[in-house]
Chain A
């Protein structure tokens, strides 16, 4: 079956530090890849996505590139802010509409 493995947390950074959260996947076919963010007490919301190999998704300073050769979709941000503190989920979706999520990585950014 499909699976998503993401970097274990929690991750604690100082403001303006560089962020990387690793994500690798196993899937048949050519899934779409996503990063979602969850703030306390809320549902997940889309952060960025990529639908085919070599696509780069970007939003709010976050970026991730769909790497088919390494089956990876690592999340990066050059300078994190306190407001980026949240739980981040990597996910894939197959053409049949079925999603698989990673276990989530908790990010805390300190001033």
Chain B
């Protein structure tokens, strides 16, 4: 199994509070991603990173920010949580093999509930 760990695995927070989710990898992969999964919407990309300090927005980035200060860590922050951000969040990583992107390896997910 790819070495990818998400923390926390579960969190309940109040509307308006900041929340940070952490993704840690031990594979030294270049790319890291944050997705949210909601019924009827599949997986939607929030932000991704293609290197240390190099990040870009995905399709549902409003209300979220990310940081990647080290290859192994990718943090997702909800600046002021809202009920619409209640979701399951997945981190994923992928690398390069002989110039081709590998598949994405996923963490176990973080179930976030905003009350």
Contacts and interface: CB of A to CB of B under 8 A. Distances in A.
Whether chain B is bound by chain A comes out as yes
Interface of A: 32, 34, 36, 42-46, 49, 51, 89, 91, 93-104
Interface stretch (B12-20, B67-75, B76-84, B98-106): B98-106
B70 to A, nearest CB: 18
Interface of B: 30-31, 33, 35, 40-43, 45, 48, 50, 90, 92, 94, 100-101, 103-109
B42 A43 contact: no
Contact of B31 (A36, A46, A97): A97
Contacts of B48: 97-98
B18 to A, nearest CB: 25
A89 B109 contact: no
Identify whether the interface residues of B are mostly helix, strand, loop, or mixed.
strand
A42 B92 CA distance: 13
A36 B43 CA distance: 12
Nearest to B59: A1
Contact of A44 (B40, B41, B43, B45): B43
Contacts of A100: 45
Nearest to B50: A97
B101 A95 contact: yes
A101 B94 contact: no
B106 A44 contact: yes
Contacts of B103: 32, 34, 36, 46, 49, 93
Contacts of A36: 103-104, 106
